[in-house]
Structure 1
């Protein structure tokens, strides 16, 4: 059964964390950030082309976020050495944190699914547990780059090939161990309290890899300021 943790809701305090950064020196922690609002996104590893695209979108929002006094962080499910190598050639202004074991994803309540064994009498409950048939039936094309909606793993393969991204040993290990990790975004105010949250595909596998738009993020920041 998938771990049915509940995502943090607006009004709840953010949990303590301290993670190594791939593109700045040392650890970044909640204590470091107190007194400043920040957006933090929890992603799958670099093997996920949709997560890489969302990181690019967050980078494009940096001027607007900084003008509003909001830091932007992204936690990826990739070992820090692998992330540093990748982002040496694909730099980003987003503060990039690494949590290959997804401990911080769990602390914020970002769901991870599991597949029910064949013949199980346990009912599926997306996103925590699903049948393989339910997952295979999903069709996605969230960025409009595919000629038609594809099964999620097929979509990943097509876009990784388009990007020229080749999974290395670390990427394959993360995909094998955490391939059903979902993505979550949280806006934290200067007091360390959640002001806004969004969880990927919370109700339907056909909504996998649909992430907040720039307009949604900017609206959430505006609401936080009020």
Structure 2
């Protein structure tokens, strides 16, 4: 799958993908939606990421609303299919899922993976975030991740450790793709706020508005 030098932007064709489904044993591709329905595509990291786990839960809360508008949803989780199946057996979400442990879709859509320079490490220890409002106060990113893990009682598995080593510090992205395969709306993590935007998602109303524009 070809990669891009910049995130895929509105007005550009969405790169195709073919990934194993988390539910069942089939393959999900962009061609499954082309000519049939718009697609709201969410590119997440592995289950080790507490921000991603919360975002996946959020996505599931309005999947029915998008579906009622004729827009399908798909979240890509960057972990092995069997690892995702085990997790979502106990913590199900409504949003359909595909697995991409190698981040091939993230690369194809041009999502940034910053270099872990000393300046970035320092920023992770100083920039404060509280993207879900469930922390008592904004905390440095490195500390916020640890606190959220403790709040969740989440224990890393060997599969998680492999994913972390491959993925960190990959950023995430959301794309609204029309039925012709054209990207009509995009959101790239940290693109406007820098690291202060880590873990944030657009509001449900913004996503639904983008879906409405894409479905006409």
Q: TM-score, normalised by structure 1?
A: 0.89
The aligned residue for residue 71 of structure 1 is 72
Alignment check: 8 A CA contact 1:11 1:195 kept: yes
1:159 alignment partner, one of 141, 148, 167? 148
Does 1:145 find its partner at 2:146? Answer: no
- After superposition, the CA RMSD in angstroms is 1.6
Tell me, what secondary structure is at the counterpart of 2:101?
coil
Q: Which residue of 1 aligns with 2:54?
A: 53
Gaps of 5+ in 2: none
Query: What is the CA-CA distance between 1:4 and the residue it aligns to?
Result: 8.5
Per-residue CA distance 1:129-160 (angstroms, 9 max, x = gap): x5322232211111111112112222111112
Q: Secondary structure at the match of 2:139?
A: coil
User: 182-191 vs 31-40, which deviates more?
Assistant: 31-40
**Aligned residue in 2 for 1:107:** 108
Structure 1 runs not aligned, ≥5 long:
119-129
Tell me the TM-score normalised to structure 2 length: 0.93
Alignment check: 8 A CA contact 2:4 2:108 kept = no
Q: Which residue of 2 aligns with 1:27?
A: 27
- The more displaced of 61-70 and 153-162 is 153-162
CA change 1:86–1:108 in 2 (3 A) is same
2:197 maps to 1:207: yes
Contact kept, 8 Å, 1:185 with 1:197, in 2: the verdict is yes
In 1, are the aligned partners of 2:125 and 2:140 still within 8 Å (CA)? yes
Q: What is the number of residues matched between the two proteins?
A: 212
Aligned residue number for residue 182 of structure 1: 171
Alpha-carbon distance between aligned partners in 2 of 1:137 and 1:157, rounded to the nearest angstrom: 15
